[in-house]
Chains A and B, each alone.
Chain A
């Protein structure tokens, strides 16, 4: 029997990037086929080619062994290909039922047949194990149920291929279990393509794994022949023997001293970070960690407390003063709060240190010097960009994060670096590069304060850890005394 989907020699170019360089991909009937690769490896492009969103520049596309001319999402839909994208495509102000049957509401005599719609929706929801009223507005659902509604929508029409792009990123453990149960049942009738960064999901769920790297096919292997370590190696193309760089740092004087800091969302926080030290802020989402970082640099109004950087008082609520005293923040929301999407890599990198490159600090910018110095830092951080003039929006998440780190490294008198979720949405390979970099920076004498929701990251990277809960610090651990359990119990 010919494979359900067979794509050969796919090439897709975008201005400035070649997203796919001759990729082959096959999906058999009744299999769960995992698609993995670092960000920017070409997974999204491949999915979009399969879904008819992108038309490949070269290559063939066969369904059941017959040439298929799919260059439009509607043709892909007609062929039974359903995609659940990571960014949900539901209409928040319509009901669950209207979303599931969006564009094909059952009609009777020119009017919507509501009773049939709701009955059909109940059936569709039952299939994904979701027991909610079809009349509920999408807006009122959490991300997890929304994800399931989206899957129900995909399955409510005859599906032959189901593509799931990072479906579990917003799901709770119970919801994940339920989803996996569903996928195992569906596998009998549907070919499933499963994109994920979570390796344990891939090894437990999939039959085969296809690995992409830099737009090329690294290989397709039966999952039984692989383990997590091996998948990582295939993804990054090198051995990652030690996930976290190991460090024996000498700590200096306290550089960042916070005393009784209080804002709207932060209660009486005192902490210090010494030169050469990496300190972690652990805690649950909403514990006030991001708000604490904002409070330290003066982005939120301070009600009480003091912040000192190298014995100099950071007085008013001014991020400019914080920058001048040598405080830098790499925010959690890269796109919304970090990068300037319309500006180049160079201009993004030097925006916080322009005074160093300008005559008298504010007159003409010495362009050549700016290029040279920024070029060195960008190179040191291994930012993968065709040039410094590239628009930063065109880089992958990991590379954008490196540009944001570069922004502060370029500042000559930087003393304290605050990093909020350093590796959120960043693939494995770039993660380790960022860990290594943070480690090196501390070695060079910087004081680093890291917020992270990933226990492993906090435990692997930090010398000392504070745990926050409801805006206040509830515990402090030395690296040696902390483990996942102790951190979690302090956070709960």
Chain B
């Protein structure tokens, strides 16, 4: 009974196709290079994926509510620099992390207010923020990276807890927490509602503006956490860190089936999207493919995935239209 139901649910779950694609990709790469399935490499894949996944959780919520955030890449640079600077002055990893998250929150507040109060389209508002933050990162460092001088900092990004890399653990905990928030709290329900029909959400008395700002803040804080981890892995703050990171995150999320029009998609799908892109990248590295081809491959995968998704939605809409 239960296995039957489980099989049925799995077959009909939206993510099954994506998951099969991921499995297929792993098998193909694994058969081309034996290195892929080694424990060391898999840990590497997960560690890389964690960095994107943490930011992707926030992006999922932002896109679900019908907005977008292009400033996460530049946030990585600014927060990375701030983190290392604070670390070097306070000599405390915890304090540096806390203040970095505050900086992230402030960026999120600005994004959120630009979108809700000033009513600037989020694509434009965060595009502006992206340029401003990147410029700030360059100006404040003279375009030179700053080295972290505190022992132990590097452990945040490269350490292990038992066999599990620390960033992977963080990503897993955050994933579970936000999965719960999205599917089991009023806040999560409101995010879907606002993305699905903003006007209806307003008239139903949902606190649309407050939720939008909050989600931008959460998104920027998660991006900041991923920036902190990146800075730790590099043991430095780099003004050109996270170049193109926003596109990587958005691509993974869209690949995972989150609709850019808002209101549709799940965190699980986005996670699989992150893994597919990370595994693809890792495979190409292992196969010694020039890094210029990575972008091309990623571009193809994204277009293909969105095409398939559009077709699926259209056939669904046709069935509904018959009613």
Contact = CB atoms under 8 A, between A and B. Distances in A.
Interface of A: 12, 14-15, 17, 19, 40, 45, 48, 54, 294, 297, 299, 319-320, 322-324, 327-329, 331, 336-343, 347, 351-352, 354-355, 358, 361-365, 367, 391, 393-394, 407
Interface string B195-226: 01101111111110010000000000000000
Interface in B176-198: 180, 184-187, 189-190, 192-193, 196-197
A363 B323 CA distance: 37
B185 A19 contact: no
A135 to B, nearest CB: 34
Contacts of A48: 322
Given A340-B193, A362-B185, A352 B320 contact: no
Contacts of B202: 299, 319
B189 A354 contact: yes
Given A340-B193, A358-B185, A14 B204 contact: no
A320 to B, nearest CB: 5
A151 to B, nearest CB: 23
B257 interface: no
A483 B114 CA distance: 52
B117 interface: no
B189 A297 contact: no
A234 B200 CA distance: 36
A322 B207 CA distance: 11
Question: Nearest 10 CB-CB pairs, A to B?
Answer: A323-B205, A354-B186, A340-B196, A320-B207, A319-B205, A14-B322, A342-B196, A352-B204, A337-B199, A342-B263
A193 B201 CA distance: 40
Interface string B289-321: 000000000000000000000000000000110
A363 B192 CA distance: 17
Contacts of B322: 12, 14, 19, 45, 48, 54
A351 B189 contact: yes
Given A323-B204, A329-B203, A352-B204, A393 B196 contact: no
A331 B197 CA distance: 13
Contacts of A407: 204
A365 B184 contact: yes
7 contacts: A40-B323, A324-B205, A336-B199, A340-B263, A342-B264, A343-B263, A365-B189
Given A297-B203, A319-B202, A343-B192, 15 more contacts: A14-B323, A15-B319, A19-B323, A297-B205, A299-B203, A322-B205, A339-B200, A340-B192, A340-B193, A347-B193, A351-B193, A351-B201, A351-B206, A352-B206, A358-B186
Interface in B81-103: none
A255 to B, nearest CB: 17
B320 A393 contact: yes
A355 B187 CA distance: 10
Contacts of B187: 362
A347 B194 CA distance: 13
Contacts of B201: 340, 351
A413 to B, nearest CB: 13
A367 B202 CA distance: 24
Nearest to A359: B185
A365 B187 CA distance: 10
Interface residues of B, number: 27
A286 B202 CA distance: 22
Contacts of B204: 319, 323, 351-352, 407
Given A362-B185, A365-B185, A394-B323, A320 B206 contact: yes
A403 to B, nearest CB: 12
B263 A365 contact: no
A362 B200 contact: no
Given A45-B322, A320-B206, A394-B323, A364 B184 contact: yes
A12 B196 CA distance: 30
Residue of A322, A342, A393, A407 most packed against chain B (CB within 10 A): A342
Contacts of A337: 197, 199-200, 203
A153 B37 CA distance: 65
Contacts of B199: 336-337
A476 to B, nearest CB: 26
A354 B186 CA distance: 6
Nearest to A324: B205
Interface in B137-193: 180, 184-187, 189-190, 192-193
Contacts of B184: 364-365, 367
Contacts of B320: 391, 393-394
B66 to A, nearest CB: 12
Nearest to A333: B199
A367 B192 CA distance: 17
B95 to A, nearest CB: 30
A364 B185 contact: yes
Given A19-B323, A299-B202, A323-B204, A363 B185 contact: yes
A119 B186 CA distance: 62
Contact of A331 (B180, B186, B203, B319): B203
A355 B205 CA distance: 12
Contacts of B193: 340, 343, 347, 351
Most chain A CB atoms below 10 A, which of B180, B184, B204: B204
A14 B184 CA distance: 31
Contacts of A329: 203
A456 B297 CA distance: 65
Given A320-B207, A351-B193, A351-B206, A338 B200 contact: yes
Contact of B197 (A299, A327, A340): A340
